[in-house]
Chain A
Amino acid sequence: DSGVTQTPKHLITATGQRVTLRCSPRSGDLSVYWYQQSLDQGLQFLIHYYNGEERAKGNILERFSAQQFPDLHSELNLSSLELGDSALYFCASSVGRTRYEQYFGPGTRLTVT
């Protein structure tokens, strides 16, 4: 157990819908990262927040957005869902600054039908 929690574990929804995935980092970690893992694309970095502020963006679609709240938990919002958005979504956390070690949560499996 890494100490990073994610909810829900599974999510099944229809095309065009919007969902919110939630992540709580390890105690003391200020950075949260979101990744998408699909069979054909591997682990793709989406976005990084540090202490409430966006630090870096990766291959995140405009239909996706994220935020990190004052209590440091983070939410990833996915809207106008398409079949191709079906994937495992992981968040990871790290202390931040010059401590780069990232610890992953168990993931949320999203199925868009």
Chain B
Amino acid sequence: GENVEQHPSTLSVQEGDSAVIKCTYSDSASNYFPWYKQELGKRPQLIIDIRSNVGEKKDQRIAVTLNKTAKHFSLHITETQPEDSAVYFCAPNNQAGTALIFGKGTTLSVSS
């Protein structure tokens, strides 16, 4: 089945710095690449996603880049704020497109 890895597992930055989280996946048939943010005790929230026919997508301070050849995609957060502190999950879809396979998560801490 799909193997999904995220790096780093924890990331600490100062407010205003940028943060980058990388996700590698194994299934070359994956064609949908979302990122979810989960605050403590809350539901995972979809924050940005990209499809395989697009290389980059941006939404205000967050962006996702995709390298299909190398089978990885990354989340970029600029001008980080304390409220960005959360666990971030990548979740590429499986070959059949019937499920998302979640990475183990990256805990981002933004200190002011």
Contact = CB atoms under 8 A, between A and B. Distances in A.
Interface residues of A, number: 22
Contacts, number: 53
B102 A45 contact: yes
B32 A100 contact: yes
Nearest to A47: B99
B89 interface: yes
Given A42-B105, A56-B94, A104 B44 contact: yes
Interface of B: 32, 34, 36, 42-46, 49, 89, 91, 93-94, 96-105
Given A2-B43, A100-B32, 15 more contacts: A2-B45, A33-B99, A42-B103, A43-B44, A44-B102, A45-B101, A48-B98, A55-B98, A56-B96, A98-B97, A101-B49, A102-B34, A102-B100, A106-B43, A107-B43
